[in-house]
Amino acid sequence: MLKDLILRINNYRVRNRKYGFKPSEILILCPKCLQSLECGKDILSDPGSCCRCGKCSVADVVKISEDMKVNIAFAPGGRLACSYAKDKAYKAVVAVACPFELVAGIIKTFPKPVYAVRNITSKRPCVETKVAPEEIIYGIGVFTEI
């Protein structure tokens, strides 16, 4: 419950600032658990390798990054995700993860603005999670003022 409150406060703070970043300055950061267990594609090193079969949320997120010209990265865990988020090439991050990882990442990357998008667990945590694409698009809009 405390994590949810922290995420709501963070997103409120992020939404209420004016940014105007270029799409190339934004990173969509996603957990590998969005990928189907049946998939053998290496989205960690090449998100574009997704075959877009529709069995998981990866295709939706990759399409958003391509359509909106925003950077994308997938990480297998919090440490690597934080290293991507801290990269000076990005001025803002739209992060998808579970509440625990989102809160930890927001704290570790402060003061860089992070718009937090909770993933949706259907089977069990960290396995074949999903994400609402419209929330990612909204987060990008917060930073680009689209």
In the predicted structure, residue 51 carries a pLDDT above the cut 90 = no
Average pLDDT over the chain, rounded to whole?
92
**pLDDT reported for residue 146:** 59
Single-letter residue type at 41: K
In the predicted structure, residue 83 carries a pLDDT above the cut 90 = yes
* Cβ atoms within 10 Å, residue 41: 16
Highest mean pLDDT among 43-47, 63-67, 120-124: 63-67
User: What pTM was estimated for this model as a whole?
Assistant: 0.93
**pLDDT reported for residue 22:** 96
Residue 106: closest CA among 68, 139, 66, 144: 139
pLDDT tens digit string along 95-142? 999 999 999 999 999 999 999 999 988 767 788 889 999 999 999 999
CATH 3.30.310 at 2-144, yes or no? no
Helix or strand or coil: residue 92? strand
